[in-house]
Amino acid sequence: MQDNPILRNFRNIVILFLYSVSFAVISFLILFFGLQLDLYSSIVESLVSSILLSGLTIIWHYPAKYISIEQYHLLKVFFSHLVSAVISSGLWVLLIYIVMVTVFNFGTTYENYFYKTILWRFLVGFLLYAIVVSFYYLVSYYSELQERSLKESELKNLVTQAELKSLKFQINPHFIFNSLNSMSALTEIDPKKAKEMIIKLADFLRYILATNEREKNKLSEELKNIRLYLDIEKIRFEDKFDYSEEMNEECNKAEIPNMILQPLFENVIKHAVYETFDKVLLTLKCSFEEGYLKIQLINNFDESSRPRKGAGVGLKNINDRLNLIYRRNDLMEVKKEKGIFSVTLFIPCEDQTKSEEIISNAKK
């Protein structure tokens, strides 16, 4: 009975009650004023037919449930409901007769009147069956549509999460392989630096393991890890690059996608520091701007150098992640002109008020 939409909650039971009362009132008006039946007979028959109709309305859910339009041929559905409607209408008329004549003992006058109107009663029952069963089909269709939509939404969410995880997992091996190669080279040349690098790499991996399941992190935590990464690269490249930050203190509390900055710095090390003999200056700028956390990484580069194979994979990775997380493909800008390369990320603040609150609290 729990799958019956009428009995599923109290609100629907109230609707059934109002529907039955409405039918009883209309039935009384037709019997008393339209067909000139006496007052007492009109009241009793209206109540009896209405109560019986309420029971049949609940039962009519099952023909709609088990005679599926999707599973059976339309002709089979039509004839099945035709038979069901004939039986239901006949049963309804018969029960009214039994209750009125046998139980309440209405006399010959009522019986004669009943026989004269039996065809109309049957047709009314037939029409009500068609209306109620159509209603059940509509409810069933709407419920299935909602359930299908919910499942599709859950499936899309799972696919998105899988894509995000896949993109995150592309980041870590890339850096680890580079670091392991560097450590291998340093082991013989400078064992002390190799040991220092191993310790920093261990700290770096510990951070990744601790935050890998998080979708977002505070910028301060991400930058702490970036500095660790740069310390490792500094051992490899010594004085080939310098790093500085220009940012407001309040930016540290803002949340950004986990490990979103890592490919940015890997990209700079791989395509700028590798390719030039001059010192590369890396500058990270951060500020709030019109509802976004604006993060910009700027570096100089040797314009005469040839781009290394695989250039752009890390940046594409970042753009794909931003697109998946925020459903927008305009959150990253890349500029390359006059020996200066810059990448700007626009991280939407989930709530503009929240970003203003962060700034306000930081100023206190």
The pLDDT tens digits of the residues spanning 72-99 come to 788 888 888 899 999 999 999 999 999 9
Pairing state between β 332-337 and 340-348:
antiparallel
**What separation in angstroms does the CA of 155 have from each of 146, 148, 162, 165?**
14, 10, 11, 15
Q: Classify residue 249 by its DSSP letter.
A: G
- Indicate the pLDDT class of residue 127, thresholds 50, 70 and 90: very high
Looking at residue 333, its pLDDT comes to: 93
- Taking residues 164-184, report their average pLDDT: 67
- Taking residues 138-142, report their average pLDDT: 87
| Separation between Cα atoms, residue 206 and residue 224, nearest integer Å | 13
pLDDT in tens, 279-314: 889 999 999 988 899 999 999 887 776 665 555 677
| Separation between Cα atoms, residue 194 and residue 189, nearest integer Å | 9
Looking at residue 307, its pLDDT comes to: 60
pLDDT of 50 above 50: yes
Q: Classify residue 62 by its DSSP letter.
A: H
Looking at residue 343, its pLDDT comes to: 93
- Taking residues 191-203, report their average pLDDT: 82
pLDDT in tens, 325-350: 888 888 999 998 888 899 999 999 86
pLDDT of 28 above 80: yes
| Separation between Cα atoms, residue 203 and residue 233, nearest integer Å | 14
| Separation between Cα atoms, residue 196 and residue 187, nearest integer Å | 11
Which pTM value belongs to this model? 0.56
Mean pLDDT over the full length of the chain: 82
How would you class 271 by CB atoms within 10 Å of its CB: exposed for 0-12, middle for 13-18, buried for 19 or more?
buried
pLDDT in tens, 241-268: 899 999 888 888 899 988 888 888 888 8
* Among 44-48, 102-106, 170-174, the range of highest mean pLDDT: 44-48
Pairing state between β 280-289 and 241-247:
parallel
Determine the 3-state secondary structure of 109 from DSSP: helix
Helix (H) and strand (E) counts in the chain: 11, 7
Looking at residue 116, its pLDDT comes to: 87
pLDDT of 34 above 70: yes
pLDDT of 134 above 60: yes
* DSSP notation for 181-240: HHHHHHHHH-HHHHHHHHHHHHHHHHHHHHHTT-SEEEHHHHHHHHHHHHHHHHHHHGGG
| Separation between Cα atoms, residue 178 and residue 266, nearest integer Å | 10
Find how far residue 336's CA is from the centre of its chain.
38
pLDDT in tens, 215-233: 788 899 889 888 888 888 8
* DSSP notation for 253-313: GSEEETTSSHHHHHHHIIIIITT-SSPEEEEEEEEEETTEEEEEEEEE--TTSPPPTTTTH
Scan for tokens 């005469």, then name that residue.
304
| Separation between Cα atoms, residue 61 and residue 300, nearest integer Å | 74
